[in-house]
A and B are shown apart, each in its own frame.
Chain A
Amino acid sequence: QKEVEQDPGPLSVPEGAIVSLNCTYSNSAFQYFMWYRQYSRKGPELLMYTYSSGNKEDGRFTAQVDKSSKYISLFIRDSQPSDSATYLCAMYDEGGSEKLVFGKGTKLTVNP
């Protein structure tokens, strides 16, 4: 089993839809959970991070972490064509390997 599993999609939604992106993981030592957004032919950029379990909201984006289920989610409300990108979840074990472990990324297209 890979450390981080993420459905690669692709996912295509109409403008204004609510988007749900998810990852599961196997390493219970992960404490930081990130979502990176990567536009085509660009480097990934950090969108949001969450420490431990719980929710975090930033504008139209909400990140959720359920450590008991080893499951994280990113919700995008009122999705826009400019949200079209690949979304990568990433996880970090501060006291362990000190490396980000990425999911494979989900390619999202928001159609006008």
Chain B
Amino acid sequence: DTAVSQTPKYLVTQMGNDKSIKCEQNLGHDTMYWYKQDSKKFLKIMFSYNNKELIINETVPNRFSPKSPDKAHLNLHINSLELGDSAVYFCASSRREVSSYEQYFGPGTRLTVT
């Protein structure tokens, strides 16, 4: 009964390819997030969706496009992958009206671009 799950766990691909990462939460939360954690472990928010509406859109290249088909799912599509995109991507979720600061994270997707 995983709370926040991500697929795939590992992703190795070549520069220029397009890839997607999927996230699902079964906590009944209304807000979901994508974070990027670089090699120095710095965790930075990329996007946030509340009930399928984009509410946070940080300064990330437009090669990154989030999509939320419903409030339990948030996917991340990355076009034309670059070496600098190599990182661990975490999905998270929370209940916005109650405690947005209390976020539950998935296990991460380790992306390696060669």
Q: How far is the CA of A102 from the CA of B42 in the complex (A)?
A: 8
Chain A: residues with Cβ within 8 Å of the partner, total of 24
Per DSSP, chain B at the interface is: strand
- For window 18-74 of chain A, which residues contact chain B by CB distance below 8 Å? 32, 34, 38, 41-46, 49
Chain A residue at minimum C-beta to C-beta distance from B42: A104
Asked whether any CB of chain A lies closer than 8 Å to the CB of B113, the reply is no
Contact between chains at A100 and B41 (CB < 8 Å):
no
| Contact A98 to B100, CB < 8 A, known contacts A43-B105, A43-B108 | yes
Chain A residue at minimum C-beta to C-beta distance from B100: A98
Contact between chains at B44 and A102 (CB < 8 Å):
yes
Q: Size band of the B side of the interface?
A: 20 to 34
Contact between chains at B103 and A46 (CB < 8 Å):
yes
Asked whether any CB of chain A lies closer than 8 Å to the CB of B4, the reply is yes
Interface 1/0s, chain B 3-47, versus A by CB < 8 A?
010000000000000000000000000000000000011111100
Contact between chains at B107 and A43 (CB < 8 Å):
yes
Q: How far is the CA of A10 from the CA of B110 in the complex (A)?
A: 23
Chain A residue at minimum C-beta to C-beta distance from B40: A104
Nearest chain B CB to A90 CB, angstrom units: 8
Asked whether any CB of chain B lies closer than 8 Å to the CB of A86, the reply is yes
Contact between chains at A92 and B101 (CB < 8 Å):
yes
Chain B residue at minimum C-beta to C-beta distance from A46: B102
Chain A residue contacts of B96, Cβ below 8 A: 98
Contact between chains at A44 and B45 (CB < 8 Å):
no
Q: Which of A88, A90, A99, A102 has the most chain B CB within a 10 Å cutoff? A: A99
Chain A residue at minimum C-beta to C-beta distance from B102: A46
Nearest chain B CB to A67 CB, angstrom units: 16
Q: Which residues from chain A sit less than 8 Å from chain B, CB to CB?
A: 8, 32, 34, 38, 41-46, 49, 86, 88, 90, 92, 94, 97-100, 102, 104-105, 107
